[in-house]
Amino acid sequence: MQVKYAMSSPPASVSPEATLEEAARHMADAGVGALPVVDGDRVIGMITDRDLVVRAMAHGLSSRLRVEQVMSGDPVTVAADTPVPAALHAMRSATVRHLPVTDDGRLVGMLSLDDLLSYLSAQLGELIAVVDAVRKAAHSSRTR
């Protein structure tokens, strides 16, 4: 299966000119822990709740500081048609919990580790239902 079936869309995002306070408020309003930083519709960075705490607040930086001064630049992204296992591998390799999803370089969604776990759990549930149906059919044919 592909990332486009597990991602959250439309994605919340923030501009590099936004303040850290605006980014934090946007995260809270959207109920997310990370925001892609976009210039137009191109992803140029990521800012996470951890960045706000560890990179900014822990060092006494002003909440009026611009996102571009704290964000991680050049983030790992995945295409919407990327297979889910490849996206999981990308997360693990980059040690990140959120990936911007792009289509021709344009931001179209976000994929979080939570999204993947929910998606994979649903897939596992469907697989269990199929296995149970096959077992019942096999048991029924043997008792006839």
CA of 75: how far to CAs of 65, 85, 92, 135, in Å?
Answer: 20, 19, 14, 46
Taking the C-alpha atoms of residue 68 and residue 47, their distance in angstroms, rounded to an integer, is 9
Q: Are 11 and 103 in contact (CB under 8 A)?
A: no
- Please give the single-letter amino acid code of residue 26: H
pLDDT tens-digit series, residues 54-85: 999 999 999 999 999 999 999 999 999 999 99
Compute the distance between CA of residue 10 and CA of residue 41 in angstroms, rounded to an integer: 12
**Residue with the two structure tokens 């892609």:** 36
Question: For 86-96, how does the pLDDT look when each residue is reduced to its tens digit (9 = 90+)?
Answer: 999 999 999 99
Identify the band that residue 1 occupies on the pLDDT scale cut at 50, 70 and 90. Answer: confident
Pinpoint the alpha helices (H) of 20-112: 20-30, 49-50, 84-94
